[in-house]
Amino acid sequence: MLGKAQGLALLCAVSLSILLEPAPSHAFSYVAKRNETLAMLSLRFYGRVDRERVLVTANGVRESVALIPGMRLEIPTVTYHRVVQGETWESLAEHYLGEPKRAEALALANETMPWLPVETGREIVVPYVLRVVAGPGDSTPSLAYSYLGHRDDAYMVARFNSLGDRPLKSGDVLLLPITDLALTDEGVDAAKAGLVMLARETAGDVRDAQIKADAELPLLAREVQEGRWIAATVRANQLLGAGPLSDPQSARVNRLLLEAYVALDEHELARGACDDWRRADPDTPLDPIELSPKILRACAGTSAGVRHGAMGEDPEPAPSARTPGTGRSPRAPAPGSSTRAPEEEQP
């Protein structure tokens, strides 16, 4: 249970860090469906079809071509940052845009000037930085028009990339700060789904832990069978602490751990192991034929509940059948059974 709690806490921490402190490159993943095109996705996610060019460049595919179903796409979007005390346009530009001198682009994206102080508590928009490879005939005005919407923004392309007065050459790699990428409601829903996809990708360690449990469960069972109780408790707790196990795995590990704890007279730990076993496998009855009295006592009163008997039932005797003054029902010995005192119980 400790490993499961740690895994869930780690997943929550990763998700919150994504939500509260976005990385400098911000885009979400989307898996293409049959007959979809980037133009369709542009209209659905941005509410305008002319953002197809951004999707084409970000994903390195051709325009107006049906996507291959299952193709994973990156959908660029702006992100937001709430300013904390001590931050400046320069420090924010260095964090999000790579260089302090790009403070001008960040300030202008927020309709202010870089020499004016940024207000503490103000939420600012952070542009998406798109990587573009210049082609034959491209210029800063043509790229500004294609991606930023205005030829007059050519100066921003030049300053952001420290071009000075140098003309572009085919093959030059440029970075363009794009602000006009606000998402539609459908785009927001797709971004949330992309976040879930990312969170699942961080859960690969869980599968590794479960594969390890499959390999070591036979070893754990052998240690219990041979009476190596200490070794069994060590191995079982390592498996539980490595990451969340499947319900059948958790049930098996805790069932074996319960037997080891009972043999070591660790009553509190045995009750906890039984509780975890019964929670992972609530439908298996506690059969007194298969389980020792010590194990049955350890499981009595656990929060997961107890089901006795091969059929999972222990019917309440009728009041008339109870022994007077005790509230308990007498049990006649079975044919051929002995009435001698029981021998010492074995785990």
Q: What is the DSSP string of 26-47?
A: -EEEEE--TT--HHHHHHHHHS
User: Of 120, 124, 115, nearest to 177 (Cα)?
Assistant: 124
Under 8 Å between Cβ of 117 and 157: no
279, burial (CB in 10 Å: exposed 0-12, middle 13-18, buried 19+): middle
The angle subtended at Cα 102 by Cα 97 and Cα 108, nearest 5°, is 105
What is the Cα–Cα distance from 149 to 248, expressed in whole angstroms? 58
Under 8 Å between Cβ of 55 and 42: yes
Q: Two tokens at 347? A: 């785990």
Q: Two tokens at 163? A: 């071009």
What is the Cα–Cα distance from 334 to 342, expressed in whole angstroms? 15
Q: Two tokens at 264? A: 């070591």
Look at residue 325 in the predicted model and tell me its pLDDT: 44
Under 8 Å between Cβ of 198 and 17: no
Could you read off the pLDDT tens digit of each residue along the chain, which spans 347 residues? 344 444 434 434 433 333 333 334 478 889 999 988 999 999 999 999 989 999 999 998 877 677 889 998 999 999 899 999 999 999 999 999 999 999 999 999 999 999 999 999 999 999 999 999 999 999 999 999 999 988 999 999 999 999 988 888 899 999 999 998 889 999 889 888 887 766 666 556 778 888 988 999 999 999 999 999 999 999 999 999 888 889 999 999 999 999 999 999 988 899 999 999 999 998 888 888 888 898 898 888 655 544 444 333 444 444 444 444 444 444 444 444 444 444 444 45
Q: DSSP label at 266?
A: -
What is the Cα–Cα distance from 269 to 257, expressed in whole angstroms? 9
The angle subtended at Cα 105 by Cα 16 and Cα 61, nearest 5°, is 70
Domain range list for the chain: 20-200, 204-314
Look at residue 301 in the predicted model and tell me its pLDDT: 63
Look at residue 347 in the predicted model and tell me its pLDDT: 53
Q: DSSP label at 243?
A: S
Number of residues in the chain = 347
Q: Where are the beta strands (DSSP E) in 107-264?
A: 123-126, 128-133, 173-178
Under 8 Å between Cβ of 319 and 342: no
Name the region of 69 (left: φ>0; alpha: ψ -120 to 50; beta: rest): beta
